[in-house]
Amino acid sequence: MSLVRLAIIVLTLASAVGLALSNPTMDDYLQFVERELGRAIDRMDQQTPSREQQLIRDVFRSQSKKLMSGVVRPATVRRNWGLVSQYETRVADTKVVVLGIGGRFIPIKGLEETTLRIGRMAF
């Protein structure tokens, strides 16, 4: 075996170990969804009076942990494939599919629509 092949194998294995160690957990996913919901609330329709917008933001800030643990966590299935995890959440008749890899999340389907629906459910 040549030195180049050995180096490629070592780098590939090191990359796989790095991905496995940085594979996001369910708590990481819930924090991601919480951030995305907060962003959706911040992008709220500008026709909503600013007083109502501020009330919604304040309620979300104070109740977001309960919303994540009471609505999102029970509706989420995590498929852990070692290097990558798939998170599937079914809330408000919509399905969200997100991949977690290397400590990051890649929305695949339905994230924007569902964050808006969860926000409406909370209020």
Please tell me the pTM assigned to this model. Answer: 0.75
Strands 76-80 and 84-91: antiparallel
Asked which of 44-58, 71-85, 105-119 is least confident by mean pLDDT, the reply is 44-58
Arithmetic mean of pLDDT, 30-55: 75
SS3 of 90, please? Answer: strand
Angle at which helix 26-42 crosses helix 50-67, to 10 degrees, equals: 170
- Contact (CB, 8 A) for 79 and 92: no
Domain that holds residue 58: 3-122
Q: From the CB of residue 111, how many other CB atoms can be counted at a distance below 10 Å?
A: 21
Q: Has residue 64 got a pLDDT over 80?
A: no
Q: What is the mean pLDDT of residues 31-54?
A: 74
Total of domains in the chain: 1
Residue of 86, 88, 93, 87 lying closest to 114 (CA atoms): 93
